[in-house]
Amino acid sequence: MGMVAWIDRTFYPQYQGNWDDGLFRDRILRELKPDAEILDIGAGAGIVEAMNFRGKAGRICGIDLDPRVEQNPFLDEGRVADAGKIPYPDESFDLVFADNVMEHLDDPKGVFTEIARVLKPAGKLLFKTPNRNHYMPLIARWTPHGFHQWINKRRGRAEVDTFPTRYRVNSAAQAKAVAKASGLEIDRIELIEGRPEYLRLTAITYVAGLLYERAVNMTGLLSGLRILLIVSLKKPG
């Protein structure tokens, strides 16, 4: 057994691949009702199985700049569109969600305002994104996009599915500010650190990630340094 596999089995036996998407799926399922109208922002080609809510909601729509969204098997309807100009009428959706999308936005306030427009009163926006204060986004902000593609290729993601990052709504403080500016209310903010996926490349990097994970989970005072930001926002109504 290699050292990486030993650390997996010893310290993270409950973790599977894409554990963060599994956590986010659970948060979405808590909000879903069988007749809910939902919108997936950045739905893409449907490569993240955890974002498949077929049979869990009344209607599932999705938008993305990637034309593959029109063939996304998880959607009842996929449209090629920018999140800053959502092609649906006011108050169309009970729930809007975005999985690893917010870090790519040039204009978060414009996107959040559009989401608020298409949400029904008391509807919710849920999103998962990297926390910009964690070491991985800090590294990402100081390295070129080609490096991001190389890292993700080693982790099994195609280069075409690695997009440029901006990190303009990627902290609790940023989320609160953008929510307030777009007319949404904070429902819940979670900061989570789990298995250090990006450092599982070698035993040495994995041990460093393990020590970091234990440190930031030891006290709430260090919660702002955890990797995963999951935010729930609510439209007044």
pLDDT score for 107: 96
pLDDT score for 72: 98
pLDDT score for 77: 98
Does residue 187 have a pLDDT over 80? yes
pLDDT score for 22: 96
Instruction: Identify the CA nearest to 82 among candidates 46, 41, 120.
Output: 41
Residues whose CB falls within 8 Å of the CB of residue 168, separated by 6 or more in sequence, listed in order: 105, 106, 108, 174
| Mean of per-residue pLDDT scores for the chain | 92
pLDDT score for 142: 73
**pLDDT tens profile 79-110:** 999 999 999 999 999 999 999 999 999 999 99
Instruction: Identify the CA nearest to 129 among candidates 61, 227, 209.
Output: 227
β-bridge pairing 93-99 and 77-80 = unpaired
- Global pTM exceeds 0.75: yes
Q: Could you give phi then psi for residue 69, rounded to 5 degrees?
A: -60, -25
Does residue 133 have a pLDDT over 80? yes
Alpha helices (H) along the chain: 3-11, 19-31, 108-118, 135-141, 145-154, 172-182, 203-218
How far apart CA 228 and CA 175 sit, in angstroms, is: 13
pLDDT score for 62: 98
Look at residue 77 and give its three-state secondary structure.
strand
Partners of 124 in the β-ladder = 95, 234
Domain 3-234 annotated CATH 3.40.50.150:
yes
pLDDT band at 151 (very low <50, low <70, confident <90, very high): low
**Dihedral sign (CA 124, 128, 132, 133):** positive
Mean pLDDT of 128-144: 86
Under a CB-based contact definition with an 8 Å cutoff, are residues 212 and 196 in contact? Answer: yes
Alpha helices (H) along 33-171: 108-118, 135-141, 145-154
Does residue 201 have a pLDDT over 90? no
pLDDT score for 165: 85
**pLDDT tens profile 1-39:** 599 999 999 999 999 888 999 999 999 999 999 999 999
Domain borders along the chain are 3-234
Does residue 186 have a pLDDT over 90? yes
How far apart CA 40 and CA 99 sit, in angstroms, is: 8
Q: In what order do the strands lie in the sheet with 77-80?
A: 77-80, 59-64, 37-41, 93-99, 119-130, 228-234, 185-192
Look at residue 78 and give its three-state secondary structure.
strand
* Residue 101 neighbours by CB distance under 10 Å: 20
